[in-house]
Structure 1
Amino acid sequence: MTPTRKRTLLLGTTSLLLITINTAALHAQEADQGFLGTLVLGESKRKVQTDTAIPQTTVDQEEINDRQAGTVAQLIDSVPGVNLVNGSTPQGSGINIRGFGANSTYGTDQKVAVQIDGANVGAEELYRIGTQLFTDPFLYKNVNVIRGTVGSFEFGSGIVGGVVQLETKDASDLTGGELGHVLAQTLEFSSNGNGLTSSSVLAWQPTQDMEFLLNYTWRDQDNQQDGNGDDIGNSAFTLPSGLFKAKYTFGENHDQSLTFSATKTTSSERDVPYDTFITTTDMFGNVDRDIETSAATLTYNFNPEDNNLIDLDVQLSYADQQIDQTYIEGSSSLEGSAQEGQVRALTNADHRYRTTKLSFKNTSLFDTNTISHELRTGLELIRKKRLDANSATGGVDDRIAVYAVDDMRIGNAWTITPALRYETSEITGSTAPNDGVYDNDALMGGLSVRYAFDNGFAVFGSGAYTESLPILDDLNNAAYMTLSEKAKTYELGASYDGGDLFRSGDSFAIKANVYKTELSDVTSYTNGGRPSVNVDSIDTEGFELEASYAMESGLYLDMNANVTDGTQHLADGTQNDWRFTGADSLRFTVGKKFGEELDLSWEMVANASIEVNGTETAGFGVHNLRATYIPQQGVLKDTQIRVGLENVFDRDYTPHQSTRSAPGRNLKLTLSRTF
């Protein structure tokens, strides 16, 4: 798609949005000249976050269950701006947001942050080993995705693509706060790859002040088949995961609490291609690979009822990822050549990343004249250690960060949010010649402004600046250790949220934003060609849309769309397409809820064809059917039955940026029961 056509489509879609919003606002004004207030009407699958200027989407427990996702990546692929590199397996997959994050060479570029209960997880730029996001969807009750930079300053520096926040389940989610214990058992079967998953949860609340949760999930899958019936090589996996969580509430008026959570996931693969992105063995040969990923957090909260200036969280978190690899003799075609030593160093490399973070965060509520403030301030002390590997230098990255974000509300109309983050970094290499000490620091910040009319309509805009300080992986290039990548992002958008538009009791929400990002002083990428040329700067722009409509009868519709474009400027003065630009996409769902018992839906997912630097990826449209049955009485009460049929017409396709064909038709059956 040409840049001119992209801009035309952006303008046309924006105009259509404004017409739709204005029409909805007119209906709302006819129904009620005053503020619509909080409406309890029909519900769709996903709530559109219309009350904030931040482009964010939350996938809650109900949608997590409904999607029957096999990986965390599949949980959020329905968020506009999110594109997956593969995605149906934990290995060889990755999360890309707005053109940044994972790609087919590295599992991450450090521009998308992933947190589990506040712990920073994941490794750095490991060559062809994927995203390293090994964990299971059954451990979590919601996933929040922030796109872009403006909402990221509480979570890290250098975040250009966005933030993925995973929150684990609590015992009280199952017990409902009542004393006693609840046992929940889930079995899930999938036809494509003979998938089998078992998730067992024990929630125990011995007193009103204490609660405990234990979850063990075991997930197994053989190689899947694509739409042509051909095996998708390297797509089999076995993934056991566990979660332990405890919370103790104490103090006057129960205003203090201690919460501990720990997750662990392991993966063992034997005689598989070193390159996790491919389906068959290549020149790198095969390896035995064992991966162990764990994260733990201990959080103290103090929130006195009589003091709105204090809502303090003190959190100590630890994340550990260990990847052990052993080369399979005779598996590489490069044995005996001049490159054999490099191949052995790469494929025999053991990697380990350990990240410890101590954070202090306080939220204060106060008024200054006509302005109401929600001020969030924080201090973070972060230490990341990387083990020496055959193919990469180890070291320690010590960081100190302070931040302040102030949501300032003026009446019911204006919300102005300035944000600042200052971060220092000291990286120490552990092996000569990369054993120096490198100090860097950066001041980052942004501003968002939102104006809400009294008819449910709102407009907003933001500007944000961030820097990616050097990382441990840059130790292999001393010149990079004094450079930071710099990014500016600008956004404009509008939203509407109201009800009683077309008939009594209906609800409608829509939110759209246009963004433009400029990344300069680039050190993370080359042009990907031969010979390679460094990339000086990258410009990306896009349009994101989310909408939902629901009626009291139970009928609902959800839609999101994404249009994007990108250009990379090379060191030799030339420019071409940004090769990690996502394809334009549209996702549409229509469904019907029959009370609390039955939910039936059809989902269409479509990607436009895209040509990047002369290489075209064909577009596609696939269809998914879902049914959820939750009996409210009788012998099946406390039982949930879900049936999903993905890729109904067995379409053979490969999404843009993926290195494998997508799975063909897949029938999923999930049975859940609480005792």
Structure 2
Amino acid sequence: MDNTKRRTARLLTVIAVPALIGASLPAHAQTSADTTAAPGSFLGRVILGFGRARTAIDTPQAVSTLEQEDIDREQAATPGDLLRTVPGATVQGGDRMTGQRYNIRGVGGDASDQNRIIISVDGVEKYGELYQVGQFFGEPELYRRVEVLRGPASSALYGSGALGGVVAFETKDAADFLQMGETTALRVKAGANSNGGGTLGSVILAQRFGESVEVLAALTHRREGDYKSGDGTRVVGSGMAGTSGLLKGTYRFGDGNEQTLSLSLSRWRSNEDGANYSSVADIPDFGTVDRKAQDDTATLVWTNPASGTPWLDSRVQLSYSRTLIDQENAIPGNPFLAGNPLFEDAFYQYRTLALRAENRFTFSGEGWENYLTVGVTASQQKRAAQRESGAISFHPEGKDRRYGVFLQNEFIWDDRLTAVLGLRADRITLTPSGDVVGGRQRSHTAQVASLALHYRFNEEWAVFGSLAHTERAPSIDEVFDVATGAGKTVSLDLRPERARTVDLGFSYAGRNVLADGDNLDLKLTVFSNRIRDKIERFSGPGPTYANIARAHIRGIELEGGYDAGNMFGKFAYSRILGTDQTTGLQLTSTPADELVLELGGRAFEQTLEYGWRGTFARKSKRWNASPAPGAYDHLPGYGVNDLYATWRPDQGALAGLEVQLAVNNVFDKQYRNILDGGLATNEPRRGRDLRMSVGRNFSW
């Protein structure tokens, strides 16, 4: 059989196997560090959090990673825009900075869902639970990497309660800009977009002092006006503006400068006048509000990686996070709501002080390796909320104090079998302020246990699976909220939610499939997540919240990539089904089935990259309790097409220049995201938008 026939047969095998067993198979881990996935694919990215470096295709978990090139190409205005090509991850709430919430595998949406997904920046957890406001605020230009871990298997390392998953952002560092022998680097960038008349300006300075000290300073400002949807309708209140800054310094010391001490300070601030009060949709009753938002993060990190001893690979992090929302001049759209305290001038604040310390022990023998990570965490969050008339009953003040211990053990045998065991226990104590009527201190213990297995048959095929038990303790809102009407009381008897999750899958890493030197990667995951004692609002008199619901969320995720040097392609497909087992209805947090396809090429010695991306969502239905109880809203499917090009000359006077050009929603499609609400309130997404940015790196 000649090479062409052999490659054709191999490709047919790759297509046929998923077709035969894809309905029941899944996706998870692996162990070999030398398996190299397609560079153009998420599956080829190195994943953090494991004892030995590995790519996404070789991990015992469904995970996608965006690197700097992805972030630059996306020209994102908000952090949520970066997740558009990640299977199983969806952002709802429109395009404004303070209006986005995260949904992973059908978990996430309402304010009470926000603590079921962990969002972190440089390992610092960000938290928000404010009614009608988004979950996380930040500037995409400051990030160099984003990891999206789908499912609760990451709870052992990241914290109990991650029933949906984890989104971990990592900020830029001076080393990203300084090459060997350079002491100073400067990056300037300007950008604009047509739909909404947006502008962007960014300046980053990196400086190296000798061999021990590196410093980075960054400043970014972004502004966009109200955008128009596909049919030309102006979406009032969708404009935004934000300014961000980052200051980061690293000091290296010890024998060989192997130890590091890093300090990072960041601030993001937004001032939105006349913004839609509702972050999720342009609901007429809510009207508009002047909203100021500020997010501050400070971290101090010491690391001592193993250097000659397998017993010492330590990391200690002390962090402080503060998120502040200030709302004024609210104008409700419904005049009957004019006296509602929801529309009074008010401020909300979250302040969190946290400590995390961990160490990794390495053991090895003939044919096996073992990495044991143990650690402790401690944190205290203080919540403040005040309005003109006093305390806010629907957003009670109080303290959330947590102590945790965790363990992750990764065992590798013969470079074929990997077993990862994760254990965690958190003790959570909630203390209300004196303004909470009937409130008193409550404590809970949340436990996590997970086991993931990955087995590699050969250099191409691998299978994996995992079982995880995760618990989420009640939040301050859920225990002490008494705002839903007469006869409501605090919910002191709440139990932690419990989730049992099963993931199964297989992966294929093919080399020289259609041509010499090409790569074809596939990863399929099937999952089932059963949530018991789910906490929801209770409509009758008595406690505001109760453990009255059960949910079953299951689905399939398929992702892959092909890379042959001058041409590449990617695809991501997700189908998620969510059922409220108490009522038998579909969960309103269930996203539409989605397929993302991307085809691209490279030219001029790969300095020019260009491509097309299509996002196709299936028609879907959403349960609507009002105004027609017992009915579903049917939302049409859609296809949105994008074009992009990136030029990075690497020689001559233009070396260091970067030009990004994109046309999003080329055909001006009018479409809506099902997670944004029913047909009566669902805000249409952005129509055709031309985006362009020009950046230049200088170094000496």
* Aligned match of 1:60: 67
- What is the Cα deviation at residue 478 of structure 1? 3.3
Structure 1, residues 605-628: CA drift from partner, whole Å, max 9, x if none?
Answer: 100011233211111001110101
State the secondary structure of the residue aligned to 1:458: strand
Number of residue pairs aligned between Structure 1 and Structure 2 = 634
2:689 pairs with one of 649, 666, 674: 666
Q: Residues 517, 329 of structure 1: CA spacing in aligned structure 2 closer, same or farther, 3 A cutoff?
A: closer
CA distance in 2, matches of 1:36, 1:354: 41
State the secondary structure of the residue aligned to 1:277: coil
Q: Would you say the 8 A contact 2:491–2:545 is kept in 1?
A: no
Q: Residues 421, 294 of structure 1: CA spacing in aligned structure 2 closer, same or farther, 3 A cutoff?
A: same
Say whether 1:308 aligns with 2:310.
Answer: yes
* Aligned match of 1:650: 668
* Aligned match of 1:568: 580
CA distance in 1, matches of 2:598, 2:326: 42
1:333 pairs with one of 332, 335, 344: 335
CA distance in 1, matches of 2:38, 2:137: 36
CA distance in 2, matches of 1:407, 1:473: 37
Say whether 1:454 aligns with 2:458.
Answer: yes
Q: Residues 481, 119 of structure 1: CA spacing in aligned structure 2 closer, same or farther, 3 A cutoff?
A: farther
Q: Would you say the 8 A contact 1:446–1:463 is kept in 2?
A: yes
Letter in 2 for 1:188: G
Q: Residues 174, 36 of structure 1: CA spacing in aligned structure 2 closer, same or farther, 3 A cutoff?
A: closer
CA distance in 2, matches of 1:640, 1:527: 56
Q: Residues 532, 255 of structure 1: CA spacing in aligned structure 2 closer, same or farther, 3 A cutoff?
A: closer
2:497 pairs with one of 485, 488, 492: 485
Structure 1, residues 121-177: CA drift from partner, whole Å, max 9, x if none?
Answer: 1212x211122x211100010000000011231001111111000000011110124
* Aligned match of 2:83: 76
State the secondary structure of the residue aligned to 2:581: strand
2:589 pairs with one of 580, 586, 589: 580
**Within 5 Å, which residues of 2 pair with 1:150-549?**
150-279=153-282, 282-328=284-330, 333-334=335-336, 340=339, 343-345=340-342, 347-367=344-364, 371-389=368-386, 390-391=391-392, 392-431=395-434, 432-474=436-478, 475-476=480-481, 478-480=490-492, 482-524=494-536, 535-549=548-562
1:606 pairs with one of 596, 605, 616: 616
1:633 pairs with one of 642, 651, 660: 651
CA distance in 2, matches of 1:17, 1:643: 38
List alignment gaps of at least 5 residues for structure 1: 1-13, 23-34
CA distance in 2, matches of 1:177, 1:87: 43
* Aligned match of 2:5: none
After TM superposition, the structure 1 stretch with the greater mean CA deviation from structure 2, 175-184 or 507-516, is: 175-184
TM-score of the two chains, using structure 2 as the length reference: 0.86
Q: Would you say the 8 A contact 1:371–1:408 is kept in 2?
A: yes
Q: Residues 37, 183 of structure 1: CA spacing in aligned structure 2 closer, same or farther, 3 A cutoff?
A: closer
Q: Residues 382, 532 of structure 1: CA spacing in aligned structure 2 closer, same or farther, 3 A cutoff?
A: closer
- What is the Cα deviation at residue 441 of structure 1? 0.7
CA distance in 2, matches of 1:329, 1:351: 19
* Aligned match of 1:111: 116
Structure 1, residues 415-473: CA drift from partner, whole Å, max 9, x if none?
Answer: 01111001101111112424411111122211001101123210001010111111111
* Aligned match of 2:567: 555
Say whether 1:92 aligns with 2:95.
Answer: no
- What is the Cα deviation at residue 596 of structure 1? 3.1
- What is the Cα deviation at residue 363 of structure 1? 1.6
Structure 1, residues 378-431: CA drift from partner, whole Å, max 9, x if none?
Answer: 100011110143322211111100000111111111101111001101111112
State the secondary structure of the residue aligned to 2:652: coil
State the secondary structure of the residue aligned to 1:387: strand
Q: Residues 41, 151 of structure 1: CA spacing in aligned structure 2 closer, same or farther, 3 A cutoff?
A: closer
Letter in 1 for 2:469: Y
Q: Would you say the 8 A contact 1:527–1:534 is kept in 2?
A: no
CA distance in 2, matches of 1:206, 1:179: 10
CA distance in 1, matches of 2:79, 2:174: 21
Q: Residues 298, 82 of structure 1: CA spacing in aligned structure 2 closer, same or farther, 3 A cutoff?
A: same
Structure 1, residues 168-196: CA drift from partner, whole Å, max 9, x if none?
Answer: 00111101243411110011110110110
Q: Would you say the 8 A contact 1:107–1:129 is kept in 2?
A: no
Letter in 2 for 1:589: E
- What is the Cα deviation at residue 108 of structure 1? 4.4
CA distance in 2, matches of 1:380, 1:534: 27
TM-score of the two chains, using structure 1 as the length reference: 0.89
CA distance in 2, matches of 1:534, 1:621: 39
Q: Residues 206, 461 of structure 1: CA spacing in aligned structure 2 closer, same or farther, 3 A cutoff?
A: same
Q: Would you say the 8 A contact 1:42–1:505 is kept in 2?
A: no
- What is the Cα deviation at residue 665 of structure 1? 0.5
CA distance in 2, matches of 1:576, 1:329: 35
CA distance in 2, matches of 1:277, 1:367: 51
- What is the Cα deviation at residue 276 of structure 1? 2.5
CA distance in 2, matches of 1:508, 1:93: 34
List alignment gaps of at least 5 residues for structure 2: 1-13, 23-30, 45-55, 482-488, 624-631, 677-681
Q: Would you say the 8 A contact 2:495–2:547 is kept in 1?
A: no
* Aligned match of 1:31: none
* Aligned match of 1:29: none
Letter in 1 for 2:39: E
Letter in 2 for 1:451: Y
* Aligned match of 1:11: none
CA distance in 2, matches of 1:329, 1:194: 25
Aligned-residue CA RMSD in angstroms?
Answer: 2.5
Percent identical pairs in the alignment equals: 28
Structure 1, residues 521-557: CA drift from partner, whole Å, max 9, x if none?
Answer: 11145799xx9998510101000011011113x1111
CA distance in 1, matches of 2:370, 2:417: 12
- What is the Cα deviation at residue 369 of structure 1? 6.9
